[in-house]
Amino acid sequence: MIDLKDLRERPDRYRDGCRKKGMAVDIDRLLVLDERRRSLSTQRDAVRAEQGKVEKEIGPQIGKLAGALKKATGDERSRMEAELEALKARPAALKARVQEFEAGVAEIDPELNALLLSVPLPPDADVPVGTSGDDNVEIRRWAPPAQPPQGLGTTGEGPWGFDAKKPYEENRGFRPKTHVELVKDLGLADFERGVKIAGSRSYVLTGDGMLLHNAVLRYAFDTMTLRQGFKAMSVPVLVREEAMVGTGFFPAGREQAYHVEESKRGGGHDQFLTGTGEVGLMALHIDEILREEDLPLRYTTVSTCFRREAGAAGKDTAGLYRIHQFDKVEQVVICRADEAESRAWHTKMLGYVEELLQGLGLPYRLLQCCTGDLGVKNADMIDVESWMPGRGEMDKQGRPMGDWGETHSASRLYDYQCRRLNLRYRPAATAGASGSGGGSGEGSGGGDRTPTVFCHSLNNTVAASPRLLIPILEMWQNADGSVTVPPVLRPYMGGKERID
RNA sequence: GGUGAGGUGGCUGAGCGGUUAAAAGUACUCGACUUGAAAUCGAGCAGACUCGAAAGGGUCUCGGGGGUUCGAAUCCCCCCCUCACCGCCA
């Protein structure tokens, strides 16, 4: 959620943000509603204030009179009844006016809130303007060195020395199989039975396929927890709507989430399956006020992710690329509201991923996403794409030419998400500023408390599998059809070196 | 699924129709005392929204929503959540 006050002060910033992100939100309408709402509530509050005064004045009189009335009889009784009614007239009139204003506010609120939730966070000035993924800008790429670093592989095996600009055959000396062929030939996945059980875009990982999947996740999780010191978490993947709205996935992405209607428990809330562990991790501190000393919070989780992939019909239908259910190790950081700090974390979080991919020897590139590719909640997003030899167009001989495929996405959100989550911290008091011993009398002192501030948040993929199995299998395959297990994964596969 | 008890400020916990934004304790901040600390004493200590150039006002919030009343933390209704015991179950 954006800051409504800021929107009032500089609406052009938000108009511009909408334009750059290619989202149509009626900022002017929002301003009108906001103006109207504030006017109504100010008037309402004034009447309420009067109401309070009147109440203090008349309340006791009414109490006394009502008490006396019980004992009164005859003429005196009816006289007192009339008096009582007369006394009640003023508060009753005020109440009616309050209700009028409230009705006005109640009429505006739903539309105002809906609009407010849909205003995107304006992209940062240094994010290139563009309309789609095609306008994303490559920042840098990494290619595995010809000599594998200590312990990461054997020369001549796997992706060492691979140059993504050259055809696979030129690199490796044999024609590659696609991951779909590999999993079929090696018995790593069973798509037919997956579909039988669960419908389209479903799969079953079998035998070594499952072991490899598990190994990747464990490798990623251990990297984050043991090496980087992130706190290991297991969070719900079945969550309430508040968590989806709070993390910024709703309302915009509602049609991408699976909706689970709770079994008739009164007016029980519906629940939704999360498409990323980010939801559970970020919703953890919803409505909390943290202490500055406790920041930054660094969390990692491994969770099953569910995505409807609505609107992607016909895209990437084969294989493990675009599926409804997968597992992902995710990292989030919740830090102080400081742009420099939050940018520094963004870089670090990308660094962890680079280290991980380099450990696997996979060629990758970093893309600065353009404004049109950001989504509502991001100010900045960097995608990591890994080289997938089996993807892309076919050449004249009917061989896939390979293509980059998105495997990671690192977002920087400022306080957009934490505003929605109502997640704040109280800055540690900055001592010294309000010089206590100064010239003015010491009496008045005390309570200059620091106001609370919304945290900044960031998130990044660590590893999403089975998608990440695609480059692993395709890059580590051998001419004989076997696949070498990347050395970093072997400890998680009982030391197994080769799948054949 | 059944029964019972609850949800009050950072925490503990009073209040159960009218000077209660809310006692008390505790934590925290500042000051005094002290060589320093502890202890003690004094003072302060909720958030959001909003009006205002500022000083400073105002409104709302005692799980959430609705209702009764001149007036609700206190009464009524619905919902959510927590705890305990029983049943069932990975």
State whether the beta carbon of A61 lies below 7 angstroms from any atom of strand B. no
Q: Is residue A170 flagged as an active site residue?
A: no
| A282 touches A417 (CB < 8 A) | yes
How confident is residue A268, by pLDDT bands cut at 50, 70 and 90?
low
Q: Is residue A399 flagged as an active site residue?
A: no
pLDDT at A43 over 50: yes
CA A20, CA A17: separation in Å to the nearest integer?
5
State whether the beta carbon of A93 lies below 7 angstroms from any atom of strand B. no
Helices (H), A206-361: 208-222, 241-246, 277-283, 339-360
How confident is residue A265, by pLDDT bands cut at 50, 70 and 90?
very low
Report the distance from CA of residue A290 to the C1' of nucleotide B28 in Å, as an integer: 15
Report the distance from CA of residue A278 to the C1' of nucleotide B2 in Å, as an integer: 37
Give the H or E element holding residue A11. Answer: helix A11-21
State whether the beta carbon of A311 lies below 7 angstroms from any atom of strand B. no
- ipTM for the predicted complex comes to 0.82
CA A386, CA A36: separation in Å to the nearest integer?
51
pLDDT at A120 over 50: yes
Task: Name the nucleotide nearest A267; use CA and C1'.
Answer: B79
- Measured between alpha carbons, how far is residue A190 from residues A208, A209, A454 in Å? 12, 10, 47
Report the distance from CA of residue A242 to the C1' of nucleotide B1 in Å, as an integer: 27
Burial (Cβ within 10 Å: 0-12, 13-18, ≥19) of residue A64: exposed
Task: Name the nucleotide nearest A84; use CA and C1'.
Answer: B70
Report the distance from CA of residue A13 to the C1' of nucleotide B63 in Å, as an integer: 38
Tell whether omega for the bond before A296 is within 30 degrees of 0, i.e. cis. Answer: yes
* Predicted TM-score (pTM) of this structure: 0.90
CA A343, CA A458: separation in Å to the nearest integer?
9
Q: Which residue has the higher pLDDT, A111 or A498?
A: A498
State whether the beta carbon of A46 lies below 7 angstroms from any atom of strand B. yes
pLDDT at A302: 96
CA A4, CA A30: separation in Å to the nearest integer?
9
pLDDT at A460: 98
State whether the beta carbon of A173 lies below 7 angstroms from any atom of strand B. no
Report the distance from CA of residue A261 to the C1' of nucleotide B60 in Å, as an integer: 34
For A241-309, strand residue ranges (E) read 258-260, 271-273, 289-291, 297-306
Task: Give me the mean pLDDT over the A324-345 stretch.
Answer: 95
List the nucleotides on chain B closer than 7 A to a protein CB. 1, 10, 18, 29-31, 43-51, 57-60, 70-71, 78-81
Q: Is residue A322 flagged as an active site residue?
A: yes
Q: Is residue A467 flagged as an active site residue?
A: yes
Give me the A residues in range 406-445 that sit within 7 A (CB) of strand B: 429, 431, 436-437, 442, 445
Least confident interval from A26-30, A272-276, A286-290: A286-290
How confident is residue A315, by pLDDT bands cut at 50, 70 and 90?
confident
Of residues A55, A241, A242, A406, which has the active-site annotation?
A: A406
Report the distance from CA of residue A446 to the C1' of nucleotide B25 in Å, as an integer: 22
